[in-house]
């Protein structure tokens, strides 16, 4: 999912959100993850040779949700920037602690941003934002349940309303199933990834060809949301390469968004399944609470 309207501030926060694909659920902050106690009830051995592409994607979604948490490491490469995102997030609801570092063409210094969130609260530290949009503070706090209206005249409010709306609509379970919307989803074969065998699944779709297969668990509402985002970002095509291990867990995912300016490629590796982490709010004195939220 490509960068949205806040791209005018730079790619760093946009790259974080592109990676996250997480939903805002109304739960309180605190200890995240269950470590060794993670639910293993849906663990299964996947026959990589016989499993279909669609079943492999479904198995991966179930296995990931059962672990509750994961560390992601994503490198997003575009025509004029490279962004690396690293951190922990939940796989069953919205919670994250991610850091992004962007290097823009022609700019010597790298830019760093961070997002922290849990439940209905999102904190953003994006140095590329104008000081007025941050109220002169380092962090901006958004209540995802009470976003400012797009017509707000508060500096940065319309951009943050768009950002928050993306978090509201994204759903980790649906995001895991989204490759099923590709009409040409198919299996390439069994390959070695990260030193172990994994089934390689690929698929491609345009806004016009996205569809939720009957009985897949993928909802038409989510597909329509992703279609709207593609149209808004003028993304003509989206492609997926997924590698899924015999334990059902995804090993690596490559998403390519085709823009008029060129391809944006996000390569994500997933490790440390089930690790515990805590989302800590930033210092209140250095946090700007966006009016209207």
Report the DSSP pairing between strands 250-259 and 237-245.
antiparallel
Adjacent-strand bridge partners of 243: 200, 252
The span from the CA of 237 to the CA of 181, in Å, is 12
CA torsion sign, 96 to 270 to 215 to 228? positive
Place of tokens 């575009």: 78
Structure tokens at 128: 């590329």
Please report the domains of the chain, with CATH numbers, ordered by start residue: 5-289 (2.50.20.20)
pTM: 0.84
Please list the pLDDT of the chain residue by residue as tens digits (293 residues): 333 223 333 344 555 555 443 222 222 333 333 333 344 444 568 999 999 999 999 999 999 999 999 999 999 999 888 999 999 999 888 889 999 998 887 776 788 999 999 989 999 998 888 898 899 999 999 999 888 887 888 888 888 888 888 888 768 888 899 999 999 999 999 999 999 999 999 999 999 999 999 999 999 999 999 999 899 889 999 999 999 999 999 999 999 999 988 999 999 999 999 999 889 999 999 999 987 66
Q: How many Cα atoms are found within 13 Å in the side-chain-facing hemisphere of 44?
A: 15
């Amino acid at each position: 999912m490509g960068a949205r309207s806040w791209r005018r501030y730079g790619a760093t926060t946009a790259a974080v959100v592109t990676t996250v694909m997480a939903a805002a659920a109304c739960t309180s902050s605190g200890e995240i993850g269950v470590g060794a106690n993670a639910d293993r009830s849906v663990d299964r051995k996947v026959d990589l040779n016989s499993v279909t592409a669609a079943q492999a994607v479904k198995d991966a979604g179930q296995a990931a949700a059962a672990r509750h948490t994961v560390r992601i490491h994503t490198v997003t490469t575009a025509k004029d920037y490279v962004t690396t995102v690293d951190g922990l997030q939940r796989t069953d609801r919205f919670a994250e602690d991610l850091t992004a570092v962007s290097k823009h063409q022609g700019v010597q210094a790298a830019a760093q941003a961070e997002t922290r969130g849990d439940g209905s609260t999102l904190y953003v530290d994006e140095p590329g934002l104008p000081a007025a949009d941050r109220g002169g503070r380092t962090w901006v706090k958004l209540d995802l349940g009470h976003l400012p209206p797009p017509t707000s005249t508060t500096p940065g409010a319309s951009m943050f309303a768009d950002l928050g709306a993306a978090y509201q609509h994204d759903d980790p379970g649906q995001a895991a199933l989204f490759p099923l919307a590709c009409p040409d989803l198919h299996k390439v074969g069994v390959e070695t990834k990260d030193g172990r065998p994994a089934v390689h699944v690929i698929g491609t779709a345009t806004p016009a060809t996205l569809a939720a297969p009957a009985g897949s668990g993928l909802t038409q509402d989510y597909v329509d949301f992703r279609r709207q985002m593609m149209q808004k970002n003028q993304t003509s095509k989206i492609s997926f390469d997924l590698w899924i291990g015999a334990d059902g867990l995804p090993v690596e995912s490559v998403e390519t968004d085709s823009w008029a300016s060129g391809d944006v490629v996000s390569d994500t590796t997933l490790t440390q399944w089930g690790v515990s982490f805590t989302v800590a709010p930033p210092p209140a004195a250095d946090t700007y609470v966006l009016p209207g939220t």
